[in-house]
Amino acid sequence: MRPILIITGLSGSGKSLAARVFEDLGHFCVDNLPVALIPVFADLLQRSHDSLRQAVLVIDIREGAYLDDFPRILSDLRERGVPIRILWFEATTETLIRRFSETRRPHPLSAEIPLEDAIARERALMREIHALADRVIDTTLYDPHELRRFLRDEFSQAADEPGLQISIVSFGFKHGVPAQADLVFDARFLQNPFFEEGLKTKTGLDGEVVEFLEKVPEYGEFLRRLDDLLAFLLPGYVREGKSYLTVGVGCTGGRHRSVAVAESLRRTMQSRGWAARVTHRDLDKG
């Protein structure tokens, strides 16, 4: 059965940009398809040639009252064996207000009420669909270029890989914890290469930084314990039907310790047969 990816979430959270990214990656994208036609589309997809093997649908508040039928339609399709995954995009109210102010585009619900009230109403109307999401992506801390790069890194190969998709995100705590992270590990207890001569301007992708960390006794032990914990957790997530797992690894700035740990986790997960990829969110930040 050919999979369908559904992009949904709050207006202004990056859904349109995400659809363009998926289109660039070779997906067949349909924006604002009436929910009543989703079963028809799914049937056509199953009978189509390989050119339609990867499909993305954008479903949001523009559907109006027809959104009420979406949970039932989703349940029916899954009972028929159609593999459907839902990505929910969101951002803080303050971020959404700023984005609408900058673009001067109207919110779909703001014709007769203030923008902040429209956002709150949309959250309430979409609450049931939010609860159905397989993965939540909070775009608050991303500008359009960063979000585009993040989505490319996350999903450039995921469509062809079955089972649990593991995303490892390195980050700096001073830039904020990734809101989409399911698990967060703190590497700040490790000796910081930033303060070592010749390593400040390098990153955890450089061999000199990795060599420095490998001489820190706690580093190897930290990696072994993380490996053991994930080896215990991942089969349980699979049994529960989880489709996406985001593992955050943080240090102070997100350029040295967290990057090296994230790369090590990716190699370990891939060697065990898991579909794992890594994103270094704050690597280019000072």
Helix crossing, 257-271 with 207-214: angle to 10°? 90
Instruction: Sketch out the chain's domains with CATH numbers.
Output: 4-160 (3.40.50.300), 166-280 (no CATH)
How far apart CA 57 and CA 27 sit, in angstroms, is 10
Classify the phi-psi angles of 28: left when phi > 0, otherwise alpha if psi is within -120 to 50, otherwise beta.
beta
Helices 93-103 and 115-125 sit at what angle, rounded to 10 degrees? 120
Three-state SS annotation for 155-223: HCCHHHCCCCEEEEEEEEHHHCCCCCCCEEEECCCCCCHHHCCCCCCCCCCCHHHHHHHHCCHHHHHHH
pLDDT at residue 239 in the model: 81
> In order along the chain (286 residues), what is the average pLDDT of each group of 10 residues?
90 94 88 92 79 82 90 92 92 94 88 92 94 91 87 70 81 91 96 94 96 95 96 89 88 96 94 89 86
To which residue do tokens 């039907």 refer? 241
pLDDT of residue 284: 87
Q: Is this model's pTM higher than 0.85 or not?
A: no
Which pairing describes strands 84-90 and 135-138: parallel, antiparallel, or unpaired?
parallel
pLDDT confidence of residue 231: 92
